[in-house]
Amino acid sequence: MVRIPEESGPRVRARELGLPLGRFKPGKFNAITDVEGVLVGHSTIIQGQGPLRPGFGPVRTGVTAILPNLGNIFMDRMSGGGFVLNGAGEVSGMTQLMEWGLIETPILLTNTMAVGAVSDGVARYLVQRYPGIGDEHDVIIPVVGECDDSWLNDISGRHVRQEHVLEAINNAASGPVREGNVGGGTGMVTCDFKGGIGTSSRKLPEVLGGYTLGVLVMSNFGKMHNLRVGGLPVGEVLVEKFKNTPHRGKSYGSIIAVVATDAPLLSHQINRLCKRVGLGIGRVGSYAAHGSGEIVVGFSTANIIPRRTQKMVYKMKILLDQRLDPLYEAVMEATEEAILNAMCMAEPMTGVNDNYSPALPLDEVRRFVDACRPIFASVKKRPHQTSVPASKERPSDEDREGEVTVSSALPTKVRGAEGIP
């Protein structure tokens, strides 16, 4: 096996490479945790080396936990939804999620053969915290997503245990999120380079609602020649350099994405938002192969649907469908950047049978970006949208003279399915 010499510099996130990553600004941490109340935690399992011995290792896997509502999601549920671009994968609990439009458990990410163990671990955790489950409360179906990490991990050994689930949940916190070879992403590969966990966020200007949106991915898909980095055909250039490095050949891989936003969305709107995640995945080079699983789970933190109430109805804030377009653009941008963050932050890894996954060579990406920088510089940048005046009033429906850009257009200026002129 021929290995490319590793770079000596530190791994950095995609934005630090100067890539063109969209027009909306990220949040404070550029992570799904920029959405208030969302927590993320990991449990990483790395053990052994050498030949595969099923049940003994080597082990390169783990668990990642996303906790909405500061972890109080069982009693104070939220609107949820999802989308399946290609279904050669699994997210347990998805059927109920799509039927009810509710998120009521933490969301866990792990390897394919560990879905049952992780689901059992979440169930045990919730039953201990809420002993009335199955009696005074309804039963639960935890939301657990998976990808196949068998290129690097003893996947059939089923090394994920309840203690790893609890570790991921108990470690969940706000703030910066660890990326790359951590948690459920420990053994994942993207476009023949090391992949894993990545995240990104976008903060809309006040004139577009001021909402925050975040995406977290467990990225494990694709082939090198399809890789696009910031829209640049980097993969086609790197194929020649890595032509003598063995790649996984039996599996195209998969990706699980989780979307969170504080925009007040109903379930059908979250479903539509999740569809646009597929566009962000495609930007990096996925064509959603026959054996691939591109599955997206989403939720909105804007409305709480209480498990216990004496009321007959509850009131919700709802964003007009005509106002969704900026969120569609933002989720596409954040998805692309989250995948690239997973690759940029991932370290090279050797796993079972000395299978080797190189890290994306950041120096090569920098050279490619620098060569294209004159093209970027020649593109006239649009001025950023101004914020709403101090009164914080939303745009009125009055006509405005002069040019009206798409991003600032009022609903009455856009033809919609509702027949608005």
As annotated, the active-site residues are 254, 292, 294
What one-letter code names the amino acid at 339? I
Angle formed at CA 71 by CA 70 and CA 77, multiple of 5 degrees: 95
The two structure tokens encoding residue 309: 């109430």
Contact 79, 300 (CB under 8 A): yes
Contact 222, 261 (CB under 8 A): no
For the beta carbon of residue 323, count every other beta carbon within 10 angstroms. Answer: 19
Task: Give the SS3 label for residue 125.
Answer: helix
For the chain, how big is the Rg over CA atoms in Å?
22
DSSP assignment letter at 298? E
For the beta carbon of residue 181, count every other beta carbon within 10 angstroms. Answer: 27
The two structure tokens encoding residue 212: 């925050």
Based on DSSP, count helices (H) and strands (E) in the chain, helices before strands. Answer: 7, 15
Which residue in 32, 73, 25 sits closest to 213, CA to CA? 32
Angle formed at CA 139 by CA 75 and CA 72, multiple of 5 degrees: 20
Across 387-407, b (16+ Cβ under 10 Å) vs e yields: ebeeeeeeeeeeeeeeeeeeb
Cα Dmax for the chain: 72
Which residue in 165, 148, 356, 162 sits closest to 253, CA to CA? 148
Task: Determine phi and psi for 275, rounding to 5 degrees.
Answer: -60, -40
